[in-house]
Amino acid sequence: MTDMNRSSSTPPRAACLRALAFAAVAALVPFGTAAAQEEGYRAPSDEIIRILDAPGLPNLEVSPEGSWAALLTRPGMVGLEDIAEPRLHLAGYRLNPRTNGPAVAGRAPIESMELIRLGDQGRVPVTLPPGAAVEYVSWSPDGSVLLLAMVAERGYELWKLDAGSATPSRVGAGYLNAAHGDPCRWMGNGREAICRFVPEGRGPAPERPRVPSTPRIQDAEGEPAPARTFQDLLQDGHDADLFEFYFTSQLAYVDVASGQTTPVGAPAIFDAVTPSPDGSHLYVVRTVRPFSYVVPDRWRTNDWFPREMELWSRSGEMVRKVASLPLEENVAVDDSRSGPRGVTWQPGADAALVWVEEAVGSGGGAQDRVMRIATPTDEPEVILELEDHFDRMAWTRDGRGMITEIDRFPRRAASWTRSWLVSPEGDGWSSRIVDDRSAEDRFGAPGTPVTRGATLLGEGDWIFLQGDGVTPDGEQPFLDRMNLRTLETERLWESDPDRYEVPVELV
């Protein structure tokens, strides 16, 4: 990660790729002894430099209420100073131990920002600290504040930027644990965020013992099991200790205005922490031992290390055990593990939790089923049983859901797809098919519902659909709206035939 105190004598950010590009050309030309003895970095021609330094497309982060947008620019090249940072390979992750964040992986941090007032297109250039590197930006629910994770010499710092302001400021004094995933989530009140911090007084990382305390033991039980070669696996007990050391966090509420932090719960390896819409509960997933030497912590949509899935009160007491998932080393790479998955709070409800699980013992040949609890203390109810594999779901603010299944997992291998609209009806749920077609029929694809998180974007009975618009003459991306009562659709926008345009964000 980029050092906030980067020296001016450091090679330019594009030096790495320039050097490689030059080397590819130079390899074709025999050099004399003098050339072979030259040291240092050599620049290619101006034409190659212009190509490598050409700016890429910026990212646009629009505030939830649609009044502001943050234009985020990353350099096209990853700098040599970033590549030269220390790196640990642990359980499928690549970690920078200096920052307790991800090691550089082909994407440079944000180096410049600009706020755009969408009403009149007014622009506010943001002044970042000298040499700053920014990651993990997130708007507050009301669009008044932008949270930033700033990479500093000792780790990730939490900063904020008020909408319309040109200068961010630091929030609190601790360092975020950015080992994986977003380190902070906004609470529904828009005043607080819950963040993962490096535990105070953590101390130095475990040192590798001269002699291992125990041998590494792996059992072959004589049963056939799928196997694949994974990168960055844990190799021994010391690696397991390092994984636990760097990934353990202390949760804390942060008052964004004052910077006051309030710890909640005990330190743990938190795989997920999401607050309920009303802020009364937390859905928490903890990673626990034993760890594995043959599979990573996570692969695609599967979590393979053991997980404790829990509902906590706001103060950190567990009020419900959702599931305890054991270590899974024998699940096929493209299959789903047992237990709840895709767990999320239902938008529009105070604290209703929805998830999908394997339909074991349900009868009728169902593969998966979508479940729900209306409150953290209620009994689970079945929303919909699926003949095939669950793919995704999203919800309107008034409690209706769009659920999609596919005949083969993962999606890229599917040949058939089916989407359902589910609605609460009496003491149960009604369902109707919205889309039922070959997944290979790109010409007939009606588009994908536009979402923000797990929320279907729309107005009243209408939701928005975005699609590629495949035609015999090429793609013409489009934006439609669909009525959830009549299923009629209306074209709102379509790309011109002589150019390729796609919607970036709905505001």
Q: pLDDT tens digit string along 135-190?
A: 899 999 999 999 999 999 899 999 999 999 999 999 999 999 999 999 999 999 99
Indicate the pLDDT class of residue 12, thresholds 50, 70 and 90.
very low
At residue 6 the predicted structure's pLDDT band, cuts being 50, 70 and 90, is: very low
Q: Tell me how far CA of residue 501 lies from CA of 14, 452, 490, 495, in angstroms.
A: 29, 21, 19, 5
Following CA atoms 385, 356, 138, 461 in sequence, which dihedral angle do they give, to the nearest 10 degrees? 10
| SS3 state of residue 416 | strand
Segment 307-330, tens digit of pLDDT = 999 999 999 999 999 999 999 998
Binned at pLDDT 50, 70 and 90, residue 507 comes out as confident
pLDDT of residue 57: 86
| Backbone dihedral angles phi then psi of residue 35, each to the nearest 5 degrees | -65, -40
Q: Is the pLDDT of residue 20 over 70?
A: no
Q: Give the mean model confidence (pLDDT) for residues 349-358.
A: 97
Between 479 and 224, name the one with better pLDDT.
479
Residue 339 domain flag:
no
The pair of three-digit structure tokens given for residue 218, joined into one six-digit string: 């792996």
For the chain, what is the mean pLDDT? 89
Q: What is the DSSP string of 235-262?
A: -SHHHHHHHHHHHEEEEEEEETTT--EE
Give the model's confidence band at 56: pLDDT under 50 very low, under 70 low, under 90 confident, else very high: confident
Residue 37 has pLDDT above 70, yes or no: no
212 to each of 216, 219, 236, 238, how far by Cα in Å? 9, 19, 9, 8
Environment class of residue 474 by beta-carbon count within 10 Å: exposed (0-12), middle (13-18) or buried (19+)? exposed
CB contact set of 165 (below 8 Å; sequence gap of 6+): 115, 124, 126
Mean pLDDT to the nearest integer, 232-257: 98
Q: Which domain holds residue 127?
A: 1-202+228-263
Judge whether 374 lies within some domain.
no
Measured CA to CA, the distance from residue 342 to residue 344 in angstroms comes to 6
Burial bucket for residue 39 (CB in 10 Å: 0-12, 13-18, 19+): exposed
Q: With cut-offs at 50, 70 and 90, classify the pLDDT of residue 412.
A: low
Percent of the chain past pLDDT 70, that is, above it, reads: 89
pLDDT at 365 over 70: no
**3-class DSSP assignment, residue 205:** coil
| pLDDT band, residue 2 (cuts 50/70/90) | very low
* Any domain includes 498: no
Q: Please classify residue 303 by burial: count the beta carbons closer than 10 Å to its beta carbon, then call 0-12 exposed, 13-18 middle and 19+ buried.
A: buried
CB 420, CB 366: distance < 8 Å: no
Report if residue 293 sits inside a domain.
Answer: no
Residue 362 is predicted with a pLDDT of 56
More confident residue, 360 or 34: 360
Q: What's residue 363's pLDDT?
A: 56
Instruction: Give the chain's count of helices (H) and strands (E).
Output: 5, 38
Q: Is residue 480 scored above 60 in pLDDT?
A: yes
- The backbone torsions φ and ψ at residue 245, rounded to the nearest 5 degrees and listed phi first, read -65, -50
- Angle at 195 (CA atoms; ends 70, 310), nearest 5 degrees: 125
Residue 283: is its pLDDT beyond 50? yes
Cis before 410? omega within 30: yes
- Burial class (CB within 10 angstroms; exposed 0-12, middle 13-18, buried 19+) of 441: exposed
| Candidate from 296-300, 334-338, 373-377 with smallest mean pLDDT | 334-338
Assigned domain for 256 exists: yes
Whether residue 122 lies inside any domain: the answer is yes
Spatial distance between the Cα atoms of 450 and 191, rounded to a whole number of angstroms: 27
**DSSP track, 69-95:** EEEEE--SS--HHHHTS--EEETTEEE
Length of the chain: 507
Confidence label for 78 from pLDDT (cuts 50, 70 and 90): confident
17 occurs within a structural domain: yes
Number of independent structural domains in the chain = 1
Asked, for residue 288, whether it belongs to a domain, the answer is: no
Question: 423 - beta bridge partners?
Answer: 430
Residues near 453 by Cβ (< 8 Å), separated by ≥ 6?
Answer: 347
CA pair distance 178, 186, nearest whole angstrom: 16
